[in-house]
Chain A
Amino acid sequence: MEKRHLFGQAWYKFSRSKASVVGAVLVLIVVGLALLAPFVSPHPEQAGPYVDFDRANQSPSSGYLLGTDNMGRDILSRLIFALRPGLLMGILVLAISVPIGFGLGLIAGYNRGSLLDSLIMRVTDIFLSVPPLILALAIASVLEPNLTHAMMAITVMWWPWYCRLAYNVASSIKNEYYVRYAELTGASTFHILAREILPNCLSPVLTKMTLDMGWVIMTGASLSFVGLGEQPPAPDLGNMVSAGVKYLPDYWWMTVFPAIAIVVIVLGFNLLGDGIRDLFTVEEA
């Protein structure tokens, strides 16, 4: 029964909630569009340096489904390409901040009550006490504004959350009998952390990572909204919104569609995250 039905069982659990399925579909669409951007966007060449003032500021029409911006570029195509830096940021930020935060939290949680615990967690507390967006803005504004530096700034403010999460989970798991057994029988600390505790911490971390994808993308959009991320003419969700702000309410499509895209992305990842959490929940009969 075991391995063959693993996927089937997982899907059954996941699909009990219709909302989670909606989330999964949304995320798949977003990821699919981003990957296939050059092939699915109607005017791929317009996602980049391109001007055509004859077609500037046109409302949505058959050739330009979401209208054109002030430089005459197709908003739909730019939007699809803008998904790329957004997703890239989400992936890279999490790929770096999660291992660091989780690793530190694991070590601190296992050594709860010791000097090492205090050291790690107080540093974490310091980072957590600064309002996150302010911290990111501060860092990004010191460095030259571009996508890489925005990613670095967000990474710096993101790891403490995983540290705290891992700390809480690890410090409760370390009291489980199987961990105590490993200690009593003489297993090395590395084995205990990596083989006994870590696998049991994964479920809240994976759930949070899924939820966070949406929020990292939104934070990234916030940074580029104020000009600290991907610079124009490269399309980015944030800079598209900010470029269109001054044309409200006349040429509303320039701002509204990128904004809706951000909402859809965050919603999709949130719903997917709920589903992932359900997957890990063991149901009582």
Chain B
Amino acid sequence: MMATDTVLEVNDLQVSFRVYGGKTRVLDGVNLRVAKGQRVGLVGEAGCGKTTTLKAIMGILPSQAVIEGGQILFRGQDLLKAGPAAVQSFRQRGAAMIFQDPTAALNPVFTVGDLLQVGLRYATESRGKTDKAHLIKRCAETLTEVSLPDPDRIMKTYPFQLSGGMRQRVCIAAAMTATREVLLADEPGTSLDVTIQDQILRLITGLSETKDLAVVLVTHSLGVVREVTEYVYVMYAGVIVEGGPTAEVFARPLHPYTAALMECIPRLTGQGFAEGIPGRLPDYRNPPRGCRFSPRCPQSLKTCGEAKPSLLDAGGRHMVACYLRAR
């Protein structure tokens, strides 16, 4: 599916956090693009900034965060420069986010029905009055769309009465009640069992296909990315280091970090796996001047430590931010 109809675009996003002793430069140039109906993966390890990226898109960064630069374009409009009304409209009808821990994401004192109706009510408010019956009917429909049986009974239950997998489905339903164009999913299956995670991922894939829903799937699991997404961005220490069609990136990982990461994954074929990547994540208060991965890179050149490489085209929609590949 060609990425011609871009729904969400992030250009050179830079975010810092104010901390004791200065600022941590958490995101240092994040670039990504999602087209209508496309499933895009954002993969990286803990602390690389992928959740921060999602929160920046939704506008829910913590108070100590500072957006230093960049653009977040939804249908061509820069959300960072738009007024609060545009941002609100984006949250109500443009994008929705689902989180890693469905238990923490659902307010325990409201029934599932209440939780679903709230989002829908705000999304349709400006379009004239909506009566309660219509809201309830739409919510029940959404529950069926996420394969929850007996929606009327579920609407009356509280989250604690449901299993983890069902709670995650409720979260997805809450994101889907109003028609949206983008779903931001932050590690949606990580806290669930493997067989249940499989169900949730298939659900998201199905919804994306039937409703032309663009999905940004954030995860640390390369296996999940391979199963669900068509295009993947690899992130390291606040920078997108590689991006490309999923099959292509897995077959030919261009960035040394991507390649090293793949080596570390235990294979079902039983060939053993690498002993990890030497070194640690950089100190975000004092990040390396050039490429952030260069201190740990086995192939780093002198230029790598001096200037930050930008994302370069490597053919076939495959991009990589690495001087080694720029030849």
Contacts and interface: CB of A to CB of B under 8 A. Distances in A.
Interface of A: 5, 8-9, 12-13, 284-285
B62 A8 contact: no
Contacts of B20: 5, 8-9, 12-13
Interface in B1-49: 17, 20-21, 26
Of B20, B21, B52, B62, chain A has the most CB atoms within 10 Å of the CB of B20
A16 to B, nearest CB: 9
A8 B22 CA distance: 12
Contacts of A9: 20
13 contacts: A5-B20, A5-B21, A8-B20, A8-B21, A9-B20, A12-B20, A12-B21, A13-B20, A284-B62, A285-B17, A285-B26, A285-B52, A285-B62
A8 B52 CA distance: 27
Given A12-B21, A13-B20, A285-B26, 10 more contacts: A5-B20, A5-B21, A8-B20, A8-B21, A9-B20, A12-B20, A284-B62, A285-B17, A285-B52, A285-B62
Contacts of B26: 285
A10 to B, nearest CB: 9
Contacts of B17: 285
Of A8, A12, A13, A285, chain B has the most CB atoms within 10 Å of the CB of A285
Contacts of A13: 20
Nearest to B51: A285
Contacts of B21: 5, 8, 12
A9 B20 CA distance: 6
A12 B20 CA distance: 6
Interface in B48-70: 52, 62
Contacts of A8: 20-21
A285 B46 CA distance: 12
B162 to A, nearest CB: 25
Nearest to A9: B20
B235 to A, nearest CB: 16
B98 to A, nearest CB: 18
A13 B20 CA distance: 8
A13 B17 CA distance: 14
A13 B18 CA distance: 12
Nearest to B63: A16
A134 B21 CA distance: 51
Contacts of A285: 17, 26, 52, 62
A284 B19 CA distance: 12
A211 B312 CA distance: 59
Nearest to A12: B20
Nearest to B19: A12
A5 B20 CA distance: 10
Interface string B284-295: 000000000000
A194 B26 CA distance: 40
B21 to A, nearest CB: 7
A213 B266 CA distance: 57
A9 B62 CA distance: 19
A39 B20 CA distance: 39
B295 to A, nearest CB: 18
B19 to A, nearest CB: 8
B231 to A, nearest CB: 27
A285 B21 CA distance: 16
Interface in B170-193: none
A246 B26 CA distance: 65
A203 B17 CA distance: 26
A207 B267 CA distance: 51
A8 to B, nearest CB: 7
A12 to B, nearest CB: 4
A284 B17 CA distance: 12
A38 B78 CA distance: 66
Interface in B248-306: none
A5 B26 CA distance: 22
A36 to B, nearest CB: 33
A12 B64 CA distance: 13
Contacts of A5: 20-21
A9 B285 CA distance: 15
Contacts of B62: 284-285
Q: Which 9 pairs across A and B sit closest by C-beta, in order of nearness?
A: A12-B20, A9-B20, A285-B17, A8-B20, A285-B62, A13-B20, A5-B21, A5-B20, A8-B21
